[in-house]
Amino acid sequence: MYCIKKVTDDLVWVGANDRRLALFEGVYSVPAGVSYNSYLLTDEKTVLFDTVDKAVRQRFLENIEEALKGRKLDYLVVQHVEPDHSAVIPELIRQHPEIKIVCSARVLQFIKQFYDFDIDSRVHLVEENATLNTGKHTFQFIMAPMVHWPEVMLTYDSTAKILFSADAFGCFGALNGALFADEVDFAKDYMDEARRYYSNIVGKYGTQVESALGKTSALNIEMICPLHGFVWRSNLSEIISKYMLWSKYEPEERGVMIAYASVYGNTENAAEILACRLRDMGIKTVIFDVSVTPASEIVSAAFKWSHLVFASTTYNAGIFVTMEALINDLAAHNIQNRRVAIIENGSWAPTSGGLIREILSKCEKINILENNVSILSGLKQAQLSDIEAMAEAIGADFAPPAGAAQNNQPAPNAVDPAAMFKLSYGLFVLTARDGKKDNGCIINTVMQLTASPVKITIGVNKANYTHDMILKTNKFNISVLSEGVPFRVFQQFGFHSGKDMDKFAGSGEALRTPNGIRYVSEWTNGVISAEVKNTIDCGTHTLFIAEVNQAFSLSRVPSVTYQYYFDNIKPKPQPPKGNKKGFVCKICGYVHEGDTLPDDFICPLCKHGAADFEPI
């Protein structure tokens, strides 16, 4: 019997779940099962996106017949040829010989390598950015090599604003009746599995994932349909922000992951003592016994935590077997950008520490503490100081820089603009409404002032049209931007005046709070409505003191800070071509070519002045 789920009015999930699979790809345990997602669009033409693993072929074929409701199948888009998504293609062709297969040349090559059916007579080849119209819908094809195999292609439905993302944004775990990520507590129940999926399946290819994220960041995406796990239709930033971190091998959490291999418990004992010392210093710790916890879980944890400690006994004059497998696995998955400490043990010739160091030294940006702790059989009282020293060395990374406040004192009365950027500003869309005119701008100065009643302050540049609207109406909304927000949101609200344009043009449904003012629901984690009670003229800016009428949360994705914006969102400046000199806007990345920059220069993009430019 078929089991299908509606995605949109004309898109249906026709995939299936497998809870009997012991090991995904023969390697990764999937105790909660896995879903193989496939989607059928019924436009003027019918379009199927990928197939499924052979283990669930019968349910899949029943699903397609039900979703087609007697129509013929016009197109099969093949985004990825790994057999968990392509195994049923030959049978599908036998049942629907009229089908056209839409794919890249690389996909075609791989299909021919895996299967023997006649594809040449039915292939419709597409290249990067090629489009296909199927009636109401137009699709754009985006090559995403090595996310996870070299032939991988993503498909963007520019009509419905859906990204069919192949393996990207996938997750282990069967769907259990839910289809959308917002139907479950994803952060609590599934984010670990999403990270385990990412780190083990595509973790090695961070650069390629970054490249794919860069290509898709320009698209207006309202839904993500991956080949495994949940469909994302809201709070897309929850998963995209994680991919931005993972692809750059940036840790999610400051803390220490300790993995140990211990035969008789003595190496475990050293690991436990170290963890206790670190906890005493207020540092978060997690511990894994590598002989008990599957390597895929520890690889995933290594992608999460900032500091890694490996403690291993020596075995056959080498690293203990399970630890050796883990260290090689981490190196194979391209782990980088971590601080590492090593504890070795051995009753007559401890060698495991040096061998672990040798393997990890070949990984990029792995900073290994100089001094291993080397144990002969069991830790003794006299050696506790070695563990203390290791804890102190790790803890030094978590302490505020010593003497930072005393040293580098500038001249009296000097104001270093860089120091101002250290303030932990958030970034917000400030919106207002005057008559029928909606408007908004980006601000970075929102602060809670009092708790009873709840009052906030906002500072707004007088040059902003929104400023004048608030002065007139005394009302505004704040939409708090969250991590993962694409640069185009800053372009939309920040780089133009609302006097000249409709900043909400193309933004979809007009969501309003009871005060009638629009708010931004995408890429935001909270909304605050407030009414102005006082104003203070601050020269270029007005400080509004306002009482909060309504406030609600939209997601648990962390808020964007100014630092996050500069590190992750603002495009990196492109140097002028040839030998030309230039200046780059520190706010938006605009590059002005030339030997000099006039004092009265105004950035044509973000309208900041010459003071916010620096030479390239």
Q: How far is the CB of 162 from ligand FEO (least distance, A)?
A: 19
Q: Is 545 exposed, middle or buried (0-12, 13-18, 19+ CB in 10 A)?
A: middle
Contact 351, 344 (CB under 8 A): yes
Beta bridge partners of 582: 593
Residues 137, 195, 196, 228: which binds ligand FEO (CB under 6 A)?
228
Of residues 167 through 196, those in contact with ligand FEO by CB under 6 A are 167
Q: ∠ at Cα 137 (133, 143), nearest 5°?
A: 70
CB nearer ligand FEO, residue 135 or residue 150? 150
Q: How far is the CB of 368 from ligand FEO (least distance, A)?
A: 32
Nearest CA to 169 among 216, 217, 224?
224
CB nearer ligand FEO, residue 139 or residue 172? 172
Q: How far is the CB of 83 from ligand FEO (least distance, A)?
A: 8
By CB under 6 A, is residue 85 in contact with ligand FEO? yes
By CB under 6 A, is residue 111 in contact with ligand FEO? no
106/126 Cα distance (integer angstroms): 10
Q: How far is CA 153 from the centre of its chain?
A: 19
177/230 Cα distance (integer angstroms): 11
Nearest CA to 283 among 303, 308, 255, 307?
255
CB nearer ligand FEO, residue 154 or residue 546? 154
Q: How far is the CB of 224 from ligand FEO (least distance, A)?
A: 15
Q: How far is the CB of 82 from ligand FEO (least distance, A)?
A: 4
DSSP line for 9-60: TTEEE--EEES--SEETTTEE-TT-EEE--EEEESSSEEEE----GGGHHHH
Nearest CA to 228 among 308, 187, 171?
171
CB nearer ligand FEO, residue 15 or residue 346? 15
By CB under 6 A, is residue 18 in contact with ligand FEO? no
Q: List, in order, residues 6 or more apart from 246 with CB less than 8 Å away.
A: 195, 198, 199, 203, 206, 209, 303
Total residues at interface with ligand FEO (CB under 6 A): 9
Residues 82, 157, 193, 272: which binds ligand FEO (CB under 6 A)?
82
CB nearer ligand FEO, residue 82 or residue 612? 82
CB nearer ligand FEO, residue 55 or residue 369? 55
CB nearer ligand FEO, residue 227 or residue 271? 227
Nearest CA to 443 among 485, 477, 471, 488?
477
Helices of type H across 305-452: 321-332, 352-361, 384-396, 417-420
Backbone angles phi, psi at 60, to 5 degrees: -60, -45
Residues 18, 84, 151, 522: which binds ligand FEO (CB under 6 A)?
84
Q: How far is the CB of 152 from ligand FEO (least distance, A)?
A: 8
Residues 132, 225, 227, 356: which binds ligand FEO (CB under 6 A)?
227
Binding mask 129-148 for ligand FEO (x = CB under 6 A): -------------------x
Q: How far is the CB of 31 from ligand FEO (least distance, A)?
A: 18
103/255 Cα distance (integer angstroms): 44
Q: How far is the CB of 227 from ligand FEO (least distance, A)?
A: 5
By CB under 6 A, is residue 272 in contact with ligand FEO? no
Q: Which two tokens stand for residue 376?
A: 């002969």
Q: How far is the CB of 318 from ligand FEO (least distance, A)?
A: 32
Binding mask 328-357 for ligand FEO (x = CB under 6 A): ------------------------------
Instruction: Write out the residues near ligand FEO by the rule CB under 6 A.
Output: 80, 82, 84-85, 148-149, 167, 227-228
